[in-house]
Structure 1
Amino acid sequence: MKRTRPLSLRLRLTLLFLLLSLAAWLCASLVAWQQTRDKLDKLFDTQQMLFAKRLSVMEFEQLQSAAPQIAKKKVKHGHLDDDALAFAIYSTDGKMLLHDGANGKEIPYNYRREGFDNGHLRDDDDSWRFLWLTAENKRFRIVVGQEWDYRQEMALEIITSQLTPWLVALPLMLILLIVLLSLELRPLKKLALSLRARAPDLAEPLPDDGVPREVRPLVEALNQLFARTHTMMQRERRFTSDAAHELRSPLAALKVQTDVAQLSDDDPIDRQKALAQLHTGIDRAARLVDQLLTLSRLDSLDNLDDLEPISLAALLQSAVMDNYHPAQQAGIDVRLHLHDNTVSRQGQPLLLSLLVRNLLDNAIRYSPAGSTVDVTLDAHCFSVRDNGPGISEEALARIGERFYRPPGQSETGSGLGLSIVQRIARLHHMTVTFGNHPQGGFIARVSW
């Protein structure tokens, strides 16, 4: 099923503004219509009341017996509407004495009504608003009427004159909105073009000049992502380069030992030696690959998850027991000194075990036969110390560098063990220091 692409942000904002403007215009029109109609009703009711009171002070005795009418005259300004106002004057017995000459003569007499009333003219279905008022001498009744349609038309004209300019201005506002949105979205379009033309391994951050404040967190997150991606690519390239460089020698040695074993068919002793060397080379290559993969996995970690409290005394005891038999085979005695059995740290047991195992393996591997390796736990650190010859100051300054091995070493190794130790310590917020012990030997101390 083909997915439809969403509308552009500019179009969505324009449509949303249009809908909101129309809804606001309609609501304002309804409210204005209601309020204007109510105000006009009060105004016209007051007008009818004032007109009726003015008529009530006339000299009714001078009216002729036949109902006269007011003559219509042309006026220079304004217009005369028969529905605007109509009136009639009756005697109390219902005889019409005076009317306006138009709709007033069609107002039916009401004997009982006093005040405002709604009704109709004779032979007419239009609704009218009437005001009945009795003169002070109780001999005459005055009625002033106004058609309801006239009031509504007047209210509609007022509302139309007020709201039409806003309706005309709406297209202009939309055009202005589209122009403003185009100007405001221009930095985003520029940012998109920059991302489209960006090289995959580029580490330079994206510029945030002119970017709206709401979009700036996205740009910052992208810059952080580019930095992490660049670091990861560099790490992968370094791993590939290191693996290719370091595996070249073991693989070449394996090929040589394989050739020697193939050429030693007539000499079982030489073939056995070649196979033993081949086995040793395979172990070395496997250890190198394992250390490279471990270091690569540790480099990819920024923080550790699933931490748990670890008793360092139990951790060191387990590591010493695991390395006890290899140490005995090498003629080395491993001793554990626990000065504080209550020390506990938050960490990952497997990584901390790897840290201690690498330190013990390094001490056992590079100590002469008959040596002693002391593992000591204190309140704020633990240390692994051998009583070998130590290392020179020049080598001590570079110890811990990847693939660095002090000169004069007879044991095989990759130079990655102490680098792994340092990386695990940093992930656990620990500090590793290397040095020569004053009483002789090499010491590695992990403190927190």
Structure 2
Amino acid sequence: MKPPAHPPGPTRSLASRLARPLVAAVVLVWSISTALVAWYVDTQIQHNFDTELVESAHRQLYPALLDAATPEPAQAQAQAQAVRILGEVPGSDYTEPLSLQLRNAQGRLLLRSRAAPEEAFAAPLQEGFYDTAQHRIYTLEEPESGVWLQLADPLDERTEARWRTASGLIAVLLLMLPVLLWLIHWIARRELHSLRWLQAQIQQRSGDHLQPLALTDLPHELHQVGQDVNQLLHRLHLALDVERALAANAAHELRTPLASVRLRLHTAIEQAEADGSGQIALAQIQPILHALHTLSHRTERLLQLSRAEAASQARSTVDLVALCTTLAQEFWQQPQAQKRLDWDAPTITLPVQGDIDTLAIALRNLIDNALTYSSGPVELAVQAQPPAIIVRDSGPGIAAHDLSTVQQRHVRADASRLGYGLGLSIVGSIARQHGASFSLTSPVPGRSSGLQAMLVFAATDQADRTDQAD
């Protein structure tokens, strides 16, 4: 089967893609505008011609009447029925370049100019304009004598004026079209310089170079695109950090349990081979199971750390009292916590803005560490103002000089509290995401031993808080 062909690559620049439709749009608009201008100019030309025709008719009416009333010479009287030509009267130097005809009420032609046809115009005897195939005729009545004057303007002259106007407008359009094409293409390339600059910045980004893009002096649309790219780079940076931290934490945390498993298995095998019994003693199996349990526990912590550091920024209202009640009931299902975890839910609500899943991870870590690394009771409590969750244990506590560093990853105060090396760093990371403060106090205030862990959130107002829990 023939593989599908690769889609063709880009063949034109964005400047060309913008310039061509812009030029087409401008030419279209310009053509329509030219047509409208030509129509308007033609209308004005026709109006001017008509005005001039009306004025000429009024000017020529009375001279034509006077010429028609002048006595004819003796040789012309014999031809009384012949139509007189304007300006033929002896002693008259009057000439009329327009086509003029003077007709009586019955329509008989009385007088005409030299340019006028010998036959009467095919126009009715009524005042106003009338168009024929060759002329535009204006008819004017002289009511006292009952004669009609018709003055004709050749349509060829008007058509020539119309085409001269249209030709001039079209010539300007054709002359400026190449200039317009070059100008639009040049402007498009200049304005798209910021896009090429943004593209060059994006091309420079890589897994080792995820700094935000510089967005100064960018157009609004490109600025918004740049902000979205910066948000993507930030999320990618966080994802890479989580991946690298998870790999480092896994390598660090799993090295010792895996080595212990291998050592125990080798010892058990060697002992079985030496005894020849083919059975592994129970005393050898128990440490292996314990080491595997430790491995599973730390793997779970690593998964919690990855989830906490890659947590969404979405926030909702979380009731701390309900969260503590849910987790207490969860731990009461475990034998080691049934009689040791002390939680007396107060009759209040403590709403905070946060992610319930990651807050549950933080609280679960605090309770689990307190139960694991102390042998006495563990207290879970809340306080109302400011909203806080408190976990106290009755273990040996942590030295004062170690409290400032114990929240760092892989830092442990002593061998008795191994679990706090990673668990507290998870809690601290979640607290920072929620804008909360995480503090450790040892010994517990008012006691000689123990450790108190406290998550304090931003204060909020809540009308239904009835008392303060400690």
Question: Same fold by TM-score, threshold 0.5 exceeded?
Answer: yes
Aligned partner of 2:325 in structure 1 is 314
Aligned length: 424
1:262-312 alpha-carbon deviations (Å, 9 max, x no partner): 111155897432221111111111111111111012111142467665624
The answer on whether the counterparts of 1:319 and 1:353 sit within 8 Å (CA) in structure 2 is: no
Structure 1 residue 291 corresponds to structure 2 residue 326: no
After the TM superposition, which of the residue ranges 1-10 and 178-187 deviates more from structure 2? Answer: 1-10
Distance 1:345 1:321, change over 3 A: farther
Aligned partner of 1:79 in structure 2 is none
After the TM superposition, which of the residue ranges 5-14 and 252-261 deviates more from structure 2? Answer: 5-14
Aligned partner of 2:102 in structure 1 is 89
Aligned partner of 2:452 in structure 1 is 443
- Structure 2 residue corresponding to 1:62, chosen from 70, 92, 97: 70
After the TM superposition, which of the residue ranges 44-53 and 144-153 deviates more from structure 2? Answer: 144-153
The answer on whether the counterparts of 1:88 and 1:144 sit within 8 Å (CA) in structure 2 is: yes
Letter of the 1:102 counterpart: A
Q: CA RMSD in A?
A: 3.1
The answer on whether the counterparts of 1:33 and 1:156 sit within 8 Å (CA) in structure 2 is: no
Report the Cα offset of residue 260 of structure 1.
Answer: 0.4
Gaps of 5+ in 2: 73-79, 89-96, 458-470
The answer on whether the counterparts of 2:325 and 2:345 sit within 8 Å (CA) in structure 1 is: no
Gaps of 5+ in 1: 72-81, 121-125
Taking the aligned partners of 1:43 and 1:326, their CA distance within structure 2 comes to 110
Secondary structure of residue in 2 paired with 1:101: coil
TM norm structure 1: 0.83
Taking the aligned partners of 2:356 and 2:191, their CA distance within structure 1 comes to 53
Structure 1 residue 37 corresponds to structure 2 residue 42: yes
Taking the aligned partners of 1:395 and 1:148, their CA distance within structure 2 comes to 110
Taking the aligned partners of 1:264 and 1:63, their CA distance within structure 2 comes to 161
Taking the aligned partners of 2:139 and 2:340, their CA distance within structure 1 comes to 125
Distance 1:240 1:63, change over 3 A: farther
Distance 1:318 1:349, change over 3 A: farther
Distance 1:377 1:338, change over 3 A: farther
Taking the aligned partners of 1:388 and 1:246, their CA distance within structure 2 comes to 24
The answer on whether the counterparts of 1:232 and 1:300 sit within 8 Å (CA) in structure 2 is: yes
Letter of the 1:22 counterpart: V
1:352-394 alpha-carbon deviations (Å, 9 max, x no partner): 4433332122112222x4x232222332323111233321112
Secondary structure of residue in 1 paired with 2:118: helix
Report the Cα offset of residue 33 of structure 1.
Answer: 2.9
Taking the aligned partners of 1:309 and 1:342, their CA distance within structure 2 comes to 6
Secondary structure of residue in 2 paired with 1:415: helix
Letter of the 2:283 counterpart: K
Letter of the 2:125 counterpart: R
Letter of the 2:137 counterpart: F
TM norm structure 2: 0.80
Report the Cα offset of residue 142 of structure 1.
Answer: 1.2
Taking the aligned partners of 2:216 and 2:360, their CA distance within structure 1 comes to 49
Letter of the 1:90 counterpart: R
Letter of the 1:108 counterpart: F
Aligned partner of 1:116 in structure 2 is 128
Structure 1 residue 102 corresponds to structure 2 residue 115: yes
Distance 1:411 1:191, change over 3 A: closer
Percent identity between the aligned chains? 25
The answer on whether the counterparts of 1:117 and 1:130 sit within 8 Å (CA) in structure 2 is: yes
The answer on whether the counterparts of 2:441 and 2:451 sit within 8 Å (CA) in structure 1 is: yes
Secondary structure of residue in 1 paired with 2:194: helix
Aligned partner of 1:403 in structure 2 is 410
Taking the aligned partners of 1:70 and 1:200, their CA distance within structure 2 comes to 102
Taking the aligned partners of 1:258 and 1:36, their CA distance within structure 2 comes to 105
Distance 1:209 1:287, change over 3 A: same
- Structure 2 residue corresponding to 1:50, chosen from 52, 55, 68: 55
Secondary structure of residue in 1 paired with 2:192: helix
Distance 1:326 1:260, change over 3 A: same
After the TM superposition, which of the residue ranges 35-44 and 273-282 deviates more from structure 2? Answer: 35-44
* 1:277-356 matches, cutoff 5 A: 277-304=287-314, 311-312=322-323, 314-323=325-334, 325-327=335-337, 333-345=340-352, 350-356=357-363
Taking the aligned partners of 2:357 and 2:142, their CA distance within structure 1 comes to 110
* 1:45-444 matches, cutoff 5 A: 45-58=50-63, 59=66, 60-62=68-70, 64=72, 66-68=83-85, 85-108=98-121, 113-120=125-132, 126-208=133-215, 211-265=218-272, 266=274, 271-304=281-314, 311-312=322-323, 314-323=325-334, 325-327=335-337, 333-345=340-352, 350-367=357-374, 369=375, 371-379=376-384, 380-407=387-414, 409-410=415-416, 412-413=418-419, 415-436=421-442, 437-438=444-445, 439-440=447-448, 441-444=450-453
Secondary structure of residue in 2 paired with 1:433: strand
Secondary structure of residue in 2 paired with 1:410: helix
Distance 1:354 1:413, change over 3 A: same
The answer on whether the counterparts of 1:312 and 1:345 sit within 8 Å (CA) in structure 2 is: no
Report the Cα offset of residue 227 of structure 1.
Answer: 3.0
The answer on whether the counterparts of 1:205 and 1:223 sit within 8 Å (CA) in structure 2 is: yes
Report the Cα offset of residue 148 of structure 1.
Answer: 3.6
